[in-house]
Amino acid sequence: MNRKLRFSKEHQWASEEANGEVFVGISNYAQESLGDVVFVDVPEVGASFNQGDRLGTIESVKTASDFYAPVTGDVVEVNKELIEAPESLNERPYEAWIVKLSVRSAEELLALMDPDAYEKFVDES
């Protein structure tokens, strides 16, 4: 899947679709930090979140880590494949999305880091 990605400081990515919705996932840096993912707790379809709100939890063999809404929106879909194959977040971090949100603020999405800015952010962390 070829996506135009934007990144949050919490290592989530967002990819805007033509209809004003975004796929949300975790970055390669995040999945490497977590280690082998064994479980993903996702929100209910229809739930509303503000930018920065906790969306759910990702559990790995090393730790459990919350993941956050990179933009304000409502959950329109969750990736049910992660229930059976949570390791896909490790194998394909930029294809294995977690939730799809309807975006309420295009400005929030535009304010996220582009891939070059995110790479610099990670390097400086």
Tens of pLDDT, residue by residue over 7-32, are: 999 999 999 887 889 999 999 999 99
E strand map for 30-123: 37-41, 48-49, 54-60, 64-68, 73-78, 99-103
Domains in the chain and their CATH numbers?
5-124 (2.40.50.100)
Structure confidence at residue 2 (pLDDT): 45
When pLDDT is averaged across residues 80-92 and rounded to a whole number, the result is 95
| Cα dihedral value 104, 95, 121, 49, nearest 10 | 30
pTM for this structure? 0.93
Neighbour count for residue 11 (Cβ, 10 Å): 25
